[in-house]
Amino acid sequence: MMKLIKLSLSLFFAILLLFVPNNAMADKYSDAINVFNKSDAVKPFFNKAYGYAVFPTVGKGGIGLGGAYGSGRVYKQAKISGTATLMKISIGFQLGGQAFSQIIFFQDKRAYNEFTGGNFEFDGSASAVVITAAAQAQASTQGTTAGASIGPATGTQAETKYTKGMAIFVHTLGGLMYEVSIGGQKFSFTPIN
């Protein structure tokens, strides 16, 4: 059974990568950071956070059995301190595929150390503010709300605050998926030597 799940996930991610847009730009990390920095809701976090992790492209999808995967960089006081991978496996009602960028801000050294201290996982109460072109949305494990916006390409959200020392923002790149929680995302960190 476990081999079947691993094979299904491998095949799923291989197919999903065919639909994820290939970023021809030289630095996908800078591009993702610039997109988030254009949002009025996100901009203050760049000025005050102890650090952050940015994942330029995360692929997510599923039909009953689903998963997500992405690789990123971790920054400590505006300097690259390491790399990270994001993984999630889920079972339940879900359908579709999606690509998105994600950024996680660390309010202080304690939150940064918690994330980089080994394998970190968001619990079921974790939520993210979703920033999409011409729309605004709040996603959480309790459900979603959305509204139209004629504002800037990254939308305008209500004030966002840190939860347990972290603030998470997601920018949708494409696709459609019924299932929006980030709870259960697992991260592994590798420091730069």
Q: Give DSSP secondary structure letters for 121-174.
A: E--TT--EEEEETTEEEEEETTEEEEEE--SSTT--------BTTEEEEEEEEE
In this structure, the number of other CB atoms found within 10 A of the CB of residue 33 comes to 20
Q: How far apart are CA 56 and CA 173, in angstroms?
A: 10
pLDDT surpasses 60 at 191: yes
pLDDT tens digits for 71-111? 999 999 989 999 999 998 877 777 788 888 999 999 999 99
pLDDT tens digits for 114-167? 999 988 988 766 677 877 643 334 443 333 333 333 233 444 444 568 888 999
pLDDT tens digits for 38-77? 988 899 999 999 999 999 999 888 887 788 899 999 999 9
Residue with tokens 């998926």: 177
**Residues 177, 100, 167, 37: what is their CA dihedral angle, to the nearest 10 degrees?**
-140
Closest CA to 111 of 64, 158, 51: 51
Residue with tokens 């301190």: 81
C-alpha neighbours within 13 Å on the C-beta side of residue 175: 26
pTM: 0.72
Q: How far apart are CA 171 and CA 56, in angstroms?
A: 9
